[in-house]
């Protein structure tokens, strides 16, 4: 089975090429998905640093962990639904337990695989990995942010999981925008509702909030690009001046960003009301990604309607 080839929007090749130029001992492992992972440019420039492991995701992760013990910095790129779920044991024991600097790019997350169906929709990957000790989870909103997030891996202690889309995400950040692992980015401040989003839903969240603010409402937006470690201070600061915290994610509302934010609010006795928006604990439907985003209210109109419900 061949997944669609990424347009060069997520820029993973650029990041690996630049990291290699800076002296990192990069090795790329992929279960026959170098092209669909957007890494063909890196493979062409550094063919000696690429291992095509075939369709054997679990072996791929274990091989990466072994290579990390030799001083190399392995990057694994594959479908998020398989890397996060099928390889959960290998990530837990071979990578995270041993605290190896393995960087995992799970692409085609959420509903972005469309017609491939629920077996390929990665709507549980955050929940599956968030409870594993030593794991860091990052969900970039666009290609420029993914590049910055990958560059931020330099000298980072321990494993990283990057949850990315399919290279069709509209631009939110300009090239060169700063990125700090574990530090959220506030786009707007609101007293009525603060939206905390990650990944694909960030762009439509900003659009919806901009429209509502023009009508006189006060809606804030925070990019919680790092789900673990969560920026607790950003959550509590938003809760201190907003009546409602609305989390928006292309993921099951159980176990993901909304659950992480709920834990922070509950543990700190926040008076703000929390609403979690995403996939309502169900197996997703099959269809074009755009139609699925509309169905699950993860597009601009859908997110706007959810915010209006809270404003009412």
Please report the pLDDT score of residue 116 as a whole number.
86
Domain range summary for the chain, segments of one domain joined by +: 12-163, 185-311
pTM: 0.94
Q: What is the pLDDT of residue 7?
A: 45
pLDDT at 168: 76
Number of neighbouring beta carbons within 10 Å of residue 178: 9
User: What is the C-alpha to C-alpha distance for residues 305 and 297, in angstroms, rounded to an integer?
Assistant: 8
Q: What is the pLDDT of residue 35?
A: 80
Interval 182-233: pLDDT, tens: 999 999 999 999 999 999 999 999 999 999 999 999 999 999 999 999 999 9
pLDDT at 96: 98
Name residues of the chain where pLDDT drops below 50: 1-9
Can you give the pLDDT at residue 2?
Answer: 38
In order, the DSSP letters of 236-302 are: HHHHHH-SEEEEEEEEETTTSHHHHHHHHHHHTT--SEEEEEEE-SSPPP-S-HHHHHHHTT-SHHH
Which of the residues 24, 57, 249, 250 is marked catalytic?
57
> Residue 40 belongs to what H/E stretch?
helix 40-45
What is the model's pLDDT at position 26?
A: 97
Instruction: Check if 57 is active-site.
Output: yes
Which pLDDT belongs to residue 239? 97
What topology does CATH give the domain 185-311?
Rossmann fold (3.40.50)
Q: What does CATH list as the number for 12-163?
A: 3.40.50.970
**Relative orientation angle of helices 257-267 and 232-241, to the nearest 10 degrees:** 70
């Amino acid at each position: 089975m061949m997944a669609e080839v990424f347009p060069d929007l997520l820029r993973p090749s650029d990041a690996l090429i630049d990291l290699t130029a800076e002296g990192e001992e990069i090795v790329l492992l992929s279960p026959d998905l170098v092209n669909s992972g957007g890494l063909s440019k890196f493979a062409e420039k550094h063919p000696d640093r690429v291992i095509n492991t075939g369709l054997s995701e679990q072996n791929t992760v274990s091989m990466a962990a072994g290579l990390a013990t030799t001083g190399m910095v392995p990057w694994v790129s594959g479908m998020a639904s398989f890397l996060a779920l099928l390889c959960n044991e290998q990530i837990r024991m071979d990578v995270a337990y041993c605290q190896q600097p393995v960087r995992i790019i799970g692409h085609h997350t959420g509903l972005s695989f469309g017609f491939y169906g629920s077996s390929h929709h990665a709507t549980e990957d955050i929940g599956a990995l968030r409870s594993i000790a030593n794991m860091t989870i990052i969900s970039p909103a666009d290609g420029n942010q993914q590049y910055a997030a990958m560059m931020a891996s330099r000298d980072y202690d321990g494993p990283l999981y990057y949850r990315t889309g399919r290279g069709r995400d509209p631009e939110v950040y300009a090239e060169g925008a700063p990125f700090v692992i574990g530090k959220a980015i506030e786009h707007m401040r609101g007293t009525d509702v603060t939206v905390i989003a990650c990944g694909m839903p960030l762009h439509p969240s900003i659009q919806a909030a901009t429209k509502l603010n023009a009508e006189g409402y006060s809606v804030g937006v925070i990019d919680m690009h790092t789900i673990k470690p969560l920026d607790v201070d950003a959550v509590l600061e938003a809760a201190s001046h907003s009546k409602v915290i609305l989390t928006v994610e292309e993921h099951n509302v159980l176990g993901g960003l909304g659950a992480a934010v709920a834990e922070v609010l509950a543990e700190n006795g926040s008076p703000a009301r929390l609403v979690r928006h995403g996939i309502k604990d169900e197996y997703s439907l099959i269809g074009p990604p755009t139609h699925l985003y509309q169905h699950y209210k993860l597009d601009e109109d859908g997110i706007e309607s959810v915010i209006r419900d809270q404003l009412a």
